[in-house]
Amino acid sequence: MQIATPWEVLLTPCLLIVIAEFYLVDVIPKTCRRGKTTSAPTATEFSLLQELVLHPGKIFTHEALLRRVWGTEYRDEAEYLRVYVGRLRRKLEDDPSKPVHLLTEPGIGYYMVK
């Protein structure tokens, strides 16, 4: 088995996604672990997180994320996205006001660092 690099998806029976070598997203039970702390994001938070971590470095426009996570009828509801990105940052980042993993591309959208 190879050692995972940051953001690498491990194709094992447990389907772990390694984020920055210290934060794990377990796709099967839909839980997140950071060190010894485990959290269970909401279904929507998890869908958003999954879109971002499966495509590290890819900048998703606001509209693209809204369509992928909420559906086409929500493509203009950018406030939903801001709220959920804020929630994820509180769960992912040491300092959510200065994110280093889940970043904003001003005027465009969001991405996860490679």
In a domain? residue 77: yes
Task: Decide if pLDDT at 98 tops 60.
Answer: yes
80-to-3, 38, 44 alpha-carbon distances in Å:
36, 24, 10
10: alpha, beta or left? (left if phi > 0; alpha if psi -120 to 50): beta
Pairwise pLDDT comparison (100 vs 64), residue with the higher score: 64
In a domain? residue 97: yes
Q: How much is the pTM?
A: 0.73
Amino acid at 90: R
3-state secondary structure the chain: CCCCCCCCECCCCCCEEEECCCEEEECCCCEEEECCEEECCCHHHHHHHHHHHCCCCCCEEHHHHHHHHCCHHHCCCHHHHHHHHHHHHHHHCCCCCCCCCEEEECCCEEEECC
Task: Decide if pLDDT at 100 tops 80.
Answer: yes
- The CATH number of whichever domain residue 61 belongs to comes to 1.10.10.10
- Overall number of domains in the chain: 1
Domain span at 108: 42-112
In a domain? residue 52: yes
Task: Decide if pLDDT at 6 tops 50.
Answer: no
